[in-house]
Amino acid sequence: MKLIEVKDLKKYYNKGAIKALDGVTVDINKGDVMVVIGPSGSGKSTFLRSLNLLEEPTGGEILFNGVDITKKKVRNAEGKMVKLDIDQHRQKMGMVFQHFNLFPHKTIMENMTLAPIQVKHMSQADAEAKAIKLLERVGLGDRADAYPIQLSGGQKQRIAIVRALMMEPEVMLFDEPTSALDPEMVGEVLEVMKELAEEGMTMVVVTHEMGFAREVGNRVLFMADGKLLEQGTPEEIFSHPQCDRLQDFLAKVL
């Protein structure tokens, strides 16, 4: 079942002199673990950030559950044109950033419960109970009252993942989640992501971890110069790359 349909997505800067995204078309199905790879500057992050409109695309469509979220107005159930509430759609898309972006002035518990309480109007007791459960799942049950600065990078990123899970998203977007981590902490974060994938969460992951792409991903996209050059199963991409750019890229990173 299609969860997100991306049609001819474009993001131009400077009157089109810079084409960060140059017509990307792809479907993301429920349960997909889609890994996006490519050289830096290829538009991977722009593509991912466009999916929940952190970047506003200059052209194309993004259909999320059948609703085009790039439009300012949508037709509601009664057929009337109403203003599109992007906040509502963003709730259903969890996002994990390269630099964690935890709220430094709030404790871990507050980081996790703020949005559920304010946006979903969950009671504080329910939100905290849920947060404790998630924290225990990632092995950080005893750090609920710590501040982000007291945690290591790997711990921060695990918190960032469960903070996004608090909103019960339908899809999780990962923007180079391990690129800012010390090498020995990469494993603990990938482990959490792997568990998430095994539970059937739909995931879009921009990463340089080829091992993860090969092992956990069920689809791999290769992007370069803002274009989607090749896509397929990890087996197809890594063992039988078709285009020259991909062969070059793999020769450099593998």
Q: Is 44 in the site for other proteins (CB under 8 A)?
A: no
- Minimum CB separation from other proteins for residue 9, in Å? 17
Q: Is 71 in the site for other proteins (CB under 8 A)?
A: no
Q: Is 63 in the site for other proteins (CB under 8 A)?
A: no
Closer residue to other proteins, CB minimum distance, 107 or 218? 107
Q: Is 74 in the site for other proteins (CB under 8 A)?
A: no
Q: Is 106 in the site for other proteins (CB under 8 A)?
A: yes
Q: Is 91 in the site for other proteins (CB under 8 A)?
A: yes
- Residues touching other proteins: how many (CB under 8 A)? 39
Which position among 104, 187, 200, 211 is part of the footprint of other proteins (CB under 8 A)?
Answer: 104
- Minimum CB separation from other proteins for residue 139, in Å? 17
User: What's the chain look like in SS3?
Assistant: CEEEEEEEEEEEEHHHCEEEEEEEEEEEECCCEEEEECCCCCCHHHHHHHHCCCCCCCEEEEEECCEECCCCEEECCCCCEEECCHHHHHHCEEEECCCCCCCCCCCHHHHHHHHHHHHCCCCHHHHHHHHHHHHHHCCCHHHCCCCHHHCCHHHHHHHHHHHHHCCCCCEEEEECCCCCCCHHHHHHHHHHHHHHHHCCCEEEEECCCHHHHHHHCCEEEEEECCEEEEEECHHHHHHCCCCHHHHHHHHHHC
Closer residue to other proteins, CB minimum distance, 148 or 217? 148
Cα→Cα distances 219→32, 66, 83, 197, 235, Å: 7, 22, 34, 12, 9
Which position among 90, 130, 156, 158 is part of the footprint of other proteins (CB under 8 A)?
Answer: 90
Q: Is 167 in the site for other proteins (CB under 8 A)?
A: yes
**Stretch of 1-9, 23-31, 84-92, 133-141 lying at the interface with other proteins (CB under 8 A):** 84-92
Of 194-233, binders to other proteins (CB under 8 A) are: none
**Are 164 and 88 contacting, i.e. CB atoms less than 8 angstroms apart?**
no
Q: Is 130 in the site for other proteins (CB under 8 A)?
A: no
Q: Is 65 in the site for other proteins (CB under 8 A)?
A: no
Closer residue to other proteins, CB minimum distance, 160 or 210? 160
Find, among 216, 219, 224, the residue nearest to 248 by Cα: 224
Q: Is 18 in the site for other proteins (CB under 8 A)?
A: no
List residues near other proteins by CB under 8 A.
15-16, 52, 54, 87-88, 90-91, 93-95, 97, 99, 101-107, 109, 114-115, 118-120, 125, 128, 144-150, 160, 163-164, 167
